Structure 1
Amino acid sequence: MPSVSTAKSKNDSISGPAEASRVPQQGRSRASYERMLTAAEKLMVKRGNDDFTLTEVAKAGKVSIGSIYLRFDSKDDLIRAVHGRVLAQLDDEQILMMQDIADKAQKLDDFARLFVDSYAELLKRYSAVLRPIMFRAITDESISALGRSYAEKLTQEAERQMLRYADQFGRPDHARLVGNANRMIYYTLARYLGLGSSPEAAHQGNWDELKEDLAIMCAAFLRAGPLTR
């Protein structure tokens, strides 16, 4: 049996999922492990949920049931590992996305347009796998907590960049403004993509028009002064 290391690489050092699995470091064993995760992820995307068996994972990933149980104590642990890998990949892309926006945005309108468009397309690319994961997070605190930690990381960076344009804001409570702007962007995109509790509302309207209007609303909201009484 190949040796199993407890050392954690960048994409494995995720508190819940990494600790729930035994991640191999040797080449062939690592390749087999990745096939397990990929097979489970593809089944989740295909079915829109995690209603699959480990036998199906073994067949799709060309691995044995025994090798799956060598790495995971249960199907739940396998799903958590898939979640951890997906979020690590998403986080890598989010970091690059925010760096690119910071380099390109010269004014508030630039930021709103670039952030909404880039974030929308990123969520769209991952939406098929995020849907079943987010549904499971309702009852799985490990998955829920991990998702919150990654979301908070992006939220903090997005709000930090918005605050670069605080001299253009129309009201003095800047933290409140960027927090609400960020939430409006996420909840609008999530609803369109069916991420969360209302999948039946997905894909209502025109995607490109939604992105354009959302960017305009974001910039206008941040610039708006208080309502007159």
Structure 2
Amino acid sequence: MTEDRDTDATPLTSEAKTPRTARGRKTLRAILDAAAAEFGERGYHDASISHITQRAGVALGSFYTYFDSKEEVFRALVRDMSAQVRDHVTPRVQAAPDGIAAEKAGLESFLEFVRDHKEIYRIIDESEFVDQQGYRQHYESSVERIRQRLVASAARGEIRADIGEVHAWAIMGMNVFLGLRYGVWDDGAAPGDVATVANEMLRRGLAPD
């Protein structure tokens, strides 16, 4: 299973502020991780740059080396978290033996990611009002990857031939709410068990005619 990992790649900072050294990249990573914790805990409006730098253990000036404002780091964080999900899920999806199995692997690995990064739901939800373009891109790029996988699977005869964008959005919607229920609200169920139940529904619903 293959998918294009670069089609939705967006720089986290302007070219002028892109880290040129390993130390700079480490600092930027620390700021983004601290921003995720700050926005996830306090929400966009109550979060502050000073709290982000305190969490990151960097000077205030280091923040402004990469970002001009709280809104700018929030926008970068939305793109960064989308990329983290993609990079976490992609290897498992690519290793799957067929299209249906790929969706199971994708959901299972997504649930695992959410349990370790529960703040992603609050951040993505708030981005609808702070960074609507980033909000839409997060979902649209994810759906496009699902659609491409489904089309490739249909071409191999693994699933029904009339597959399309609606099917991809339906799978995305299912994954989002399963992530909320079994990743954020309650993480008692094994991700593999949840993915197995959902995948059986897909297998039956997408079976070739």
1:49 to 2:35 alignment: no
**Of 137, 145, 154, which aligns to 1:163?**
154
Q: Which runs of 5+ in 2 are unaligned?
A: 1-5
Shift of 1:141: 1.9
Larger radius of gyration: 1
Partner of 1:192: 178
Shift of 1:164: 3.5
8 Å CA contact 1:166, 1:174 repeated in 2: no
Shift of 1:69: 2.0
TM-score by length of 1: 0.69
8 Å CA contact 1:22, 1:71 repeated in 2: yes
Structure with higher RCO (Cα < 8 A, 6+ apart): 2
8 Å CA contact 2:10, 2:79 repeated in 1: yes
Q: Distance in 2 between matches of 1:80 and 1:21?
A: 17
Q: Distance in 1 between matches of 2:21 and 2:113?
A: 29
Partner of 2:66: 71
Partner of 1:219: 203
Partner of 1:141: 132
Q: Distance in 1 between matches of 2:188 and 2:174?
A: 12
Structure 2 vs 1, CA of residues 184 and 168 (structure 1 numbering), >3 Å: closer, same or farther?
A: closer
Q: How many residues align?
A: 195
Question: Which amino acid in the other structure matches residue 184 of structure 1?
Answer: A
Structure 2 vs 1, CA of residues 20 and 124 (structure 1 numbering), >3 Å: closer, same or farther?
A: farther
Counterparts of 1:1-229 in structure 2 under 5 Å? 14=10, 17-19=12-14, 22-45=17-40, 47=41, 49-50=43-44, 51-101=46-96, 104-105=97-98, 111-112=99-100, 114-127=101-114, 128-139=118-129, 140-166=131-157, 169=160, 174-176=162-164, 179-194=165-180, 202-203=185-186, 206=189, 208-223=192-207
Shift of 1:180: 4.3
8 Å CA contact 2:159, 2:208 repeated in 1: no
Q: CA RMSD in A?
A: 3.2
Structure 2 vs 1, CA of residues 20 and 43 (structure 1 numbering), >3 Å: closer, same or farther?
A: farther
Shift of 1:174: 1.0
Shift of 1:21: 8.1
